[in-house]
Structure 1
Amino acid sequence: MSFDIFNLSKELNKALEKNNYKIPTDIQKEVIPLIKTKQDVMAQAQTGSGKTASFVIPLLELLKQNKIEKKAKIKVLVLAPTRELTLQIADTFSNMSQFFTHKPSIVSVIGGEGIGDQLLKIQKGCDVVVATSGRLLDIIDKKQINLSNLEYFVLDEADKMLDLGFKEELDVLLKHLPTQRQNLFFSATYSQKVIDIASKVTTSAKKVEIKSKTSHVEEVIQRAILVDKQNKSALLRYLIKKNKFKSVLVFMPTKRAADNIAYKFRKNGFSAESFHGDLTQEERILTLDDFKDKKIRVLFSTDIASRGLHIDDIDCVVNYDLPRSTEDYIHRIGRTARAGKSGTAISFLDNDNLAHFKLIEKRYKLDIKKEQIDGFDFTFKEQKKQKGPQPTKGKRKSKKDKLREQGLK
């Protein structure tokens, strides 16, 4: 089956061919026809399933049918949880429309870059805005964007956006959108919280759930190594050298931890850098480009790298510390073994996270052998159950306080 089944324009077909799109993925087969016929969609699909193209392709086809106006007006708004995913979606729009006679104007709206340049591009006129919610709301507050002509609204990685306080921001945003619009909702999981947020956006959506015949997780070699906390750094250096890993993505619990260990690895002769939200956008782009080009061998990152990054040849992903959410475990290890290549995911287990790893195994029906490496000690300590402090009445943080702490207000 080829993309011919969708009866796309010759310009889009030419772009598909150039970008090596030959056979549509399962989500593309289901979603593209629905969007072309202007139906609302609620799609559930894991990262790496081809969902970005599943909405970019038909939206470009619909835009192509619009009459050309002297000044472009915003017809498409896509919201994504991270700057990197935002930029990648915008790039997909650009790549897929490269052969259009009248190319749509596409603007990325993200934090970490000068707001002035983004405002100028918007005011000149644009067809597509791809944004992170925080920066978009900043521009809305300044009354510098007109969304009254919007026809298509896309929420991507909705479950991840909830972790960033998006539920409160959505109420503000929806007041500025026309009620008559096509809504496209994509999420890797559909918890009750995600369903609640989806109901605010659309109540008449066609539901699409893609379950892979072969889980990407099954294609990853998963290892779990018992090691005391103080030996993790030395063990990581040993494993990289022994296995001759050329490209390693290591997930760290905090920005400071990522910075500190990257510095120590450089002192030990490794080309290593940290990657997190405190970097400027220019630094983030440069770091990722260097990692893709193999100028950086080991990248220490917070969870901002767990979704949306299209890097096809990462040899190994390491959970230096386990993610708080069991769902993020799958997203993390999904950064390796992409595009048909092999890959390894290693989790370091210590006394503090053994119980949490059991929850991850139970959730995904895994049974991973617990290894110990000679020379890197692990001393098992029986965990005592501790009662947490009793909640103090009236001391609970409000939603506004939480958002303020995250820098979203």
Structure 2
Amino acid sequence: MEIQLIFEQTIQRLLMFQDVIVQAPTGSGKTLAYILPLFTILMKKKKIWTKNEIGAVIIVPSRELAKQVGAVCKLFGNALSLSMRVLIGGKKGKYNSKTVPSLNAAVIIATPGRLQSLISCNSDFKKALKALEILIIDEADRYTDSSFKASMTEILQSLPKQRRTGLFSATQAKEMEEIVKFGLRNPIQITIANCGAVLDSVDSVETVSPNTLNNFYVVVKADQKLYLLIEFIRNHPKSKILIFFSTCQCVEYMEILRNFRRTGKSLMLCTDVLSRGIDVDNIDWVVQFDVPKQTSWFVHRAGRSARCGEVGNNVLFLTPEETAYIEFIEKYEKVSLIKMKANLKKNDDGAEQIRQHIVEMASKEREILECGTRAFMSFVESYVHHDCNVVCSPKDLDVIGYGHAYGLLRLPRMKEFHRNDLNEFKRSELNTSEIPYKNVEKEKRRQEKLLLLKTKDKSTQKAVRTQKKRLDTRQASKNSTRKRQHSETKENMDDLGSDFALLKKLKKGRLKKKEYDELMADSSC
């Protein structure tokens, strides 16, 4: 129903030369809803597009989504003999002023940063954009971020005004008016509800999640979080599970989940890069291990399940300090969450067993030790900068609990919690500097560096001792000189006092002039 509605509403409007702002649940077919009219518009305009003409531009926020949209466009482009290019960053030096003209095509799919750089560095590419018929901005709410604003402003100012523009997303940004000012003319706002209805405004939306998606939350202590995740995976052995973490370092570290047996049939660990538009078939469960950095990302994370009318599930892991986030999500993202029981026994020592197992692995392999520390630090830094500090304050973060969950041997020094009482952390007495790398070559290089540092340290200590000895000698000399000068000054003051006393006696008549001269002569000798 949602797919049919978005096709009917969007395609019709774009073909009628109208700009549109489309908000529809995740997995409702937004990509096809703009690709179909895009190729129709280009073919109606002309059958053959030359190399110096760009007829359509699709802007997407990530490289991964650009590749996915490009794969879909390629099917239509090949069938209609229309050229297309996917322009993304991350390939330093590949595109320069000489090669840019060859990148022109009838359809361009690009990330904002790459598109901005091509527009600013090459006049031929910018000139080719004058033929633009339609601009599509996918995941439109992302472009109000400070990281995208400058790029989007320059891009929109460089494009012709007489064009059709479509903005598509599952959620619309609060600052969308800024984008509207630059890129759209009298836009038609199309909002598809999860119930399959077309609403008049975004404010009328009851929820932006698909009606086939079940949203849950579970409350668990920080130190039991990883244990609960492992148990959850074990309890769903036949399910395809997608797990979201805050950072790449966390994803890298949580690969240790694969060391625990019976951890599921199909398991994928990812960051929020995968949360927008990326299609992964038949995801049964989405697990949000951490609170997303931006609240709107919750909807996009959850939307990786229940695609195209299929039934899906989403569960958010919260600590007792984060329970206010539930009401926050319901109010601002219009998503209702159902409580799920953790099903962990009170005296269950599973979390401690997991911690000890990870500590044991980290005690033998330096790679795990360093990876765990990096993951923990990146998680804390990400948590401090999320957009709902009012309900999930960094001050309430259970640093010790997360340290135990990550299986850390030592808590790293971080300004974010330098005032916290960390005495309850189970600190390992093992000398971490003695833990070797599993990789022999890497460990050899580390030992060479340590030896070099020790040699430098010895040289430094010797230099410090020599310098200290010089300073002590210099200070002793200064003290001796100062003492001698003080003694001479005191003697001079005594002589001056004696002379002054003789002068007073002379003035008062107690001493004759001849006697005074004799005494003064004696004192000067």
TM-score, normalised via structure 1 length:
0.73
The farther-off stretch of 119-128 and 244-253 is 119-128
| Residue in structure 1 matching 2:182, options 182, 195, 200 | 200
| Corresponding position of 1:398 | none
With 37-46 and 149-158 compared, the bigger mean Cα shift is at 37-46
What is the count of residue pairs matched by the alignment?
A: 337
2:5 is aligned to 26
Instruction: Considering Cα pairs closer than 8 Å and 6+ residues apart, tell me whether 1 or 2 has the greater RCO.
Output: 1
Residue-by-residue CA offset, 1:255-304 (whole Å, 9 max, x unaligned): 21111112x113325789xxxxxxxxxxxxxxxxxxxxx8xx32222111
Residue in structure 2 matching 1:298, options 245, 267, 271: 267
Distance of aligned partners of 1:384 and 1:251 in 2 relative to their CA distance in 1, 3 Å threshold: closer
User: Structure 1 residue 241 and structure 2 residue 234: aligned?
Assistant: yes
Q: Which moved more, 1:239-248 or 1:79-88?
A: 239-248
Residue 194 to residue 124, structure 1, CA distance change in 2 (3 Å): closer
Distance 2:177 2:119 in 1: 26
What SS is found at the alignment partner of 1:165? helix
Residue 234 of structure 2 contacts residue 262 of structure 2 at CA under 8 Å; is this kept in 1?
no
- Does residue 252 of structure 2 align to residue 259 of structure 1? yes
Distance, in Å, in 1 between the alignment partners of 2:346 and 2:52 is 62
Distance in structure 1 (CA, Å) of the matches to 2:316 and 2:392: 23
What CA deviation, in whole Å up to 9, does each residue of 1:42-69 have, x standing for no partner? 2222332212111211121121231425
Q: Counterpart amino acid of 2:258?
A: R
Aligned mates of 2:347, 2:78 — CA distance in 1: 56
Give the secondary-structure state (helix, strand or coil) at the position aligned to 2:175.
helix
Q: Deviations over 1:346-365 (max 9, x none)?
A: 22121332222331234436
Question: In structure 1, what is the Cα distance between the partners aligned to 2:249 and 2:243?
Answer: 14
Which of 315, 319, 322 is residue 288 of structure 2 equivalent to?
319
> Which position in structure 1 is the counterpart of 2:317?
348
The gaps in structure 2 that reach 5 residues or longer are: 197-206, 349-390, 397-525
2:26, 2:304 within 8 Å by CA — same for their partners in 1? no
Tell me the distance in 1 between the aligned counterparts of 2:278 and 2:301.
10
Separation in structure 2 between the aligned mates of residue 384 and residue 115 of structure 1, nearest angstrom: 42
Distance 1:76 1:202, change over 3 A: same
What residue number does 2:94 align with?
A: 116
Pairing 1:4-83 to 2, within 5 Å after superposition? 25-65=4-44, 66-71=46-51, 73-83=53-63
The equivalent of 1:105 in structure 2 is 83
The answer for the alignment partner of 1:178 in structure 2 is 160
The 1:376/1:227 distance shift into structure 2, 3 A limit, reads farther
Provide the secondary structure at the position in 1 that maps to 2:235: helix
| 1:253 aligned partner, one-letter code | S
TM-score by length of 2: 0.58
Cα deviations across residues 137-166 of structure 1 (Å, max 9, x unaligned)?
122232162322222111111102223622
**Which position in structure 2 is the counterpart of 1:397?**
none
In structure 2, relative to structure 1, the CA distance for the partners of 1:111 and 1:57 (3 Å cut) is same
For 2:211 and 2:50, locate their aligned partners in 1 and report how far apart those are by CA, in whole Å. 52
Contact conserved, 1:109 with 1:130, CA < 8 A, in 2? yes
Letter in 1 for 2:286: V
**Structure 1's 111 and 175: CA in aligned 2 closer, same or farther, altered over 3 A?**
same
List per-residue Cα deviations over 1:88-112 (Å, max 9, x = no partner): 2222222234432xx1111001122
Q: Which is greater in Rg? A: 2
Considering only aligned residues, what root-mean-square deviation do their CA atoms show, in Å?
A: 3.1
Seq. identity, %: 29
Residue of structure 2 equivalent to 1:268: 260
In the alignment, residue 283 of structure 2 is paired with which amino acid?
A: I
Indicate the SS of the match to 2:291: coil
* 1:328 alignment counterpart: 297
When residues 376 and 248 of structure 1 are mapped into structure 2, their CA distance, relative to the original with a 3 A threshold, is farther
